[in-house]
Chain A
Amino acid sequence: MNIIEAKNLTKHFDGVLAIDRLSFSVANGTITGIIGPNGSGKTTLTNILSGMIPKDNGMIIIDGVALERLKSYDARRYGIARTFQNVRVFEQMSVLDNLLVVVTERNVWGALFERHGEYHRARVLEVLERIGLRDKQTALARTLSYGQRKLLEIGRALLTDARVYLFDEPFAGLFPEMAKLIVTIIHELKADGKTVILIEHNMELIRELCDTVIVMDSGRLLAEGAPKNVLKKREVLEAYLGE
């Protein structure tokens, strides 16, 4: 079954086509890689799928429900979580607060009368353990290293209990041991039956992790299929070499 389907998705920026009649589908419980040269529309696609920017045209179908308009604060209801290419943690807040804010009450009045209970704290500590930041919990997010901040973002996403995880270049600029940690987390998500959509430049990682790969060029779908088939295709190689 497909958890996400996009049909004829289109997006303009100031007259420039960023996404051009893009159609693809993502099967539930799989890891899908999105690759393509810089400026091919990968991040725009992530932003549309997470509701951060509206699409111009086309259809997004999430778990069989066609969405006319997806707002970013609704994305969570549909089970979508994301990270950002240019890390966006809450800089002047502690690591603990960065994670707590994801799990605590979101209704305004409920939140006003909620102190962070043991229940929330236990869940957060569990995730802190998974991302290896347990001894950093009182540190301000801005004091963390680049890699640690990326892990913190992944931690935030994990805490949403989403069904679909959009990871925008999670491995870029990371040391091997941190990359390994993220690979483990992605495997664990798949084992849990979750869906992961991964934007990545590293072909080794794409081959190793992904069930399916979607190749984009100039906002269009260039190829779609299993990595071992797709990555051999001539036009895919050309799109990269021609960069």
Chain B
Amino acid sequence: MDYIIHLLIFISIYAILAMSLNLLVGYTGLLSVTHAAFYGVGAYTTALLMKFAGFNFFIALAIGVVIALIASFLIGLVISKLSGDYYALGSLGFNIIVFTIFLNWQTLTRGPLGIPGIPRPELFGFTFSGNIAYLALSFAFAVLVYLACRFIIGSSFGRALKAIREDEEALKCFGYHTSVYKLVIFAIAAGFASVAGALYASYITFVDPTTFYLPESVLLLSMIILGGLSNLQGSVIGAAVLILLPEALRFVGFPDTIAAQLRLFVYGLLIVLLMLYRPQGIRGEYKL
């Protein structure tokens, strides 16, 4: 039972990541390969503030979101002028730079050693130490993010995002400053990813740089493509399938190091097969 709850917590966290990435890739057509970086910004901020400064989880989470917004704004200023594969490469570059900072700013992040012993969240004297309580917390955040994404998509802003995806140059002719739109949605998605990072850090109680590197961004991309681009439920389904799938691999009895690589192999294979044979994924309304 505890194992199932553990998986559900992970699905909630990854659902947040997948839905927010879908805002970029699925709705706006921006192939961002840097989502894991903002996930990491949220996780590291929460870890550092809670462990070394005694901050409350929710305040640390909020500060993490602010830092992710600032970071994504600066990054977005650069890459919002790009599109297509250049956008993808530029964003990938930032994933590597942020990873390099996690790894090498050792006085702050302890580098490859990571930060252990991150406390669990506390609210009005109640500690979310049990897994059921933590599931309730992460599920609540997932629902909030889902509703927020719905709100964004349903607005005039959301419609303009889709038009950017379809034909950015044509949309400009109707008076849209499309790079501002691209910048804002990039920052919003980064903010959500940072929330997922805070939940992850406080749940696992440990963070290290490798969790927030390129393979994680690739995993998130395969989740949303599998579930279906431009469809929020699809992202949740994609997150659930790709969290559960490696568990199946583990039951087959591969050693851990091989299982980890096998998982990566499957993520890569999924992207290739989906692009070749079913670009709209399980429930997608849009083909990249």
Binding site for B on A (CB under 8 A): 50-52, 71-77, 81-82, 84, 88-93, 97-98, 100-102, 104-106, 108, 110-116, 156, 160
Contact = CB atoms under 8 A, between A and B. Distances in A.
Given A91-B166, A93-B166, A101-B160, A73 B177 contact: yes
B173 A76 contact: yes
Given A88-B169, A97-B163, 18 more contacts: A50-B173, A72-B173, A73-B175, A88-B167, A90-B170, A92-B165, A93-B159, A93-B166, A97-B159, A98-B163, A101-B160, A101-B163, A106-B176, A111-B160, A112-B152, A116-B156, A116-B159, A160-B174
12 contacts: A72-B172, A73-B176, A73-B177, A76-B174, A91-B166, A92-B285, A93-B166, A106-B160, A108-B184, A111-B155, A112-B152, A113-B155
A100 B159 contact: yes
Given A88-B170, A93-B162, A93-B163, A112 B175 contact: no
Given A73-B175, A84-B170, A101-B171, A92 B162 contact: yes
Interface string B207-221: 000000000000000
Interface of B: 152, 154-157, 159-160, 162-163, 165-167, 169-178, 180-181, 184, 285-287
Contact of B162 (A82, A97, A108): A97
B234 to A, nearest CB: 15
B154 A92 contact: no
A54 B165 CA distance: 23
A236 to B, nearest CB: 31
Contacts of B180: 108
A75 B160 CA distance: 18
A73 B156 contact: no
A37 B207 CA distance: 66
Contacts of B181: 108
Interface of B is mostly: helix
A111 B185 CA distance: 12
B84 to A, nearest CB: 16
B170 to A, nearest CB: 4
Nearest to B184: A108
B167 A156 contact: no
A101 B178 CA distance: 13
B166 A115 contact: no
Given A77-B175, A90-B162, A72 B169 contact: yes
A42 B5 CA distance: 65
Contacts of B160: 101, 104, 106, 111
A43 to B, nearest CB: 14
A124 to B, nearest CB: 12
A106 B163 contact: no
Most buried by A among B157, B162, B181: B157
Given A88-B167, A93-B166, A112-B152, A104 B175 contact: no
A102 B162 contact: no
Contacts of B159: 93, 97, 100-101, 104, 116
A92 B165 CA distance: 9
Nearest to B152: A112
Contacts of B155: 111-115
A88 to B, nearest CB: 4
B214 to A, nearest CB: 29
A77 B172 CA distance: 12
Contacts of A116: 156, 159
A90 B152 CA distance: 19
Contacts of B165: 92
B166 A52 contact: no
B157 to A, nearest CB: 4
Contacts of B162: 90, 92-93, 97, 101
A92 B164 CA distance: 11
B23 to A, nearest CB: 12
A108 B159 CA distance: 12
Contacts of A114: 155-157
A216 B286 CA distance: 41
B178 A73 contact: yes
A108 B157 contact: yes
A156 B171 CA distance: 11
A75 B172 CA distance: 9
Contacts of B152: 112
